[in-house]
């Protein structure tokens, strides 16, 4: 990891290629057990891990993804996968996780609404994609620091705006605190995929919120 910030015994920085597998395992654990939409769809650990791993080369090439490590143990404490919003996801990400399709459709609907009202060019819009914190590292402000580190890194590379789709009440609270504003909401209760309301069991928040802020 290329360290760009250190706070309270935690190093934050840009991961190397050899660390993508570690990030994949962490995010798979967090998303498969705790992320509302993934839990509602029953997406298992192995499939979330495949999703993140398929994204790995893009993450390394664009240098926008950030991670956190505990300095004393070198254990991974968290990660935030980010990308250039103008460039397509790797073609094999959806193939890696077919069960992800309903959420992918919902997110794409929100992204399309944003794109219709903004000019998206390479190097202008930073997309914060997947955020996860290791269970043993929660409650230490690491999620907020990861987002701040990601935004600062994007700004230093010339990005002018940041966009995210916050799927749960915790992530929505974090992004709101850091200056993101709600722009579009995809309702969990009314969204249908193949005639089924696949997210109807989610009651903690009204839906996925596309949130954005200027850098």
Backbone angles phi, psi at 77, to 5 degrees: -110, -20
Give the per-residue pLDDT at 97. Answer: 65
SS3 state at 89: coil
Give the per-residue pLDDT at 214. Answer: 97
What is the percent of the chain where pLDDT is above 70?
A: 96
Q: Which of 87, 45, 82, 43 is nearest to 64 (CA)?
A: 82
Give the per-residue pLDDT at 113. Answer: 96
Give the per-residue pLDDT at 90. Answer: 64
Give the per-residue pLDDT at 127. Answer: 97
Q: What is the pLDDT of residues 33-72, one digit of tens each?
A: 999 999 999 988 988 888 888 888 888 999 999 999 999 9
Contact, 97 vs 50, CB < 8 A? Answer: yes
SS3 state at 144: helix
SS3 state at 197: coil
pTM of the model: 0.93
Angle, helices 20-34/45-62, rounded to nearest 10 degrees: 140
Give the per-residue pLDDT at 95. Answer: 54
- The residue ranges of the chain whose pLDDT is under 50 are none
Give the per-residue pLDDT at 96. Answer: 55
CATH superfamily label, 2-214: Gcn5-related N-acetyltransferase (GNAT) (3.40.630.30)
* 86/88 Cα distance (integer angstroms): 7
Would you give the DSSP letter of residue 14? E
Give the per-residue pLDDT at 91. Answer: 56
* 140/124 Cα distance (integer angstroms): 31
Give the per-residue pLDDT at 93. Answer: 52
Report the 10 Å Cβ neighbour count for 135: 11
């Amino acid at each position: 990891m290329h360290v760009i910030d250190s706070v309270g015994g935690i190093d934050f920085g840009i991961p190397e290629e050899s660390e993508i597998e570690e990030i994949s395992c962490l995010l798979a654990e967090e998303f498969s057990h705790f992320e509302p939409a993934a839990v509602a769809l029953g997406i298992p650990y192995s499939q979330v891990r495949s999703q993140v791993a398929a994204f790995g080369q893009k993450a390394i090439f664009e240098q926008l993804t950030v991670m956190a490590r505990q300095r004393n143990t070198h254990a991974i404490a968290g990660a935030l996968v980010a990308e250039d919003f103008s460039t397509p996801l790797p073609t094999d990400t959806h193939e890696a996780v077919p069960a992800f399709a309903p959420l992918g459709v919902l997110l794409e609907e929100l992204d399309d609404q944003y794109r219709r009202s903004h000019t998206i060019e390479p190097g202008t819009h930073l997309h914060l994609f997947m955020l996860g914190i290791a269970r043993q590292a929660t409650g230490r402000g690491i999620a907020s620091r990861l987002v701040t580190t990601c935004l600062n890194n994007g700004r230093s590379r010339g990005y002018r705006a940041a966009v995210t789709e916050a799927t749960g009440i915790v992530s929505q609270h974090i992004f709101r605190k850091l200056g993101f504003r709600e722009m579009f909401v995809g309702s969990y209760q009314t969204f249908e995929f193949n005639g089924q309301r696949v997210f109807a069991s989610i009651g903690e928040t009204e839906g996925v919120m596309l949130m954005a802020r200027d850098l």
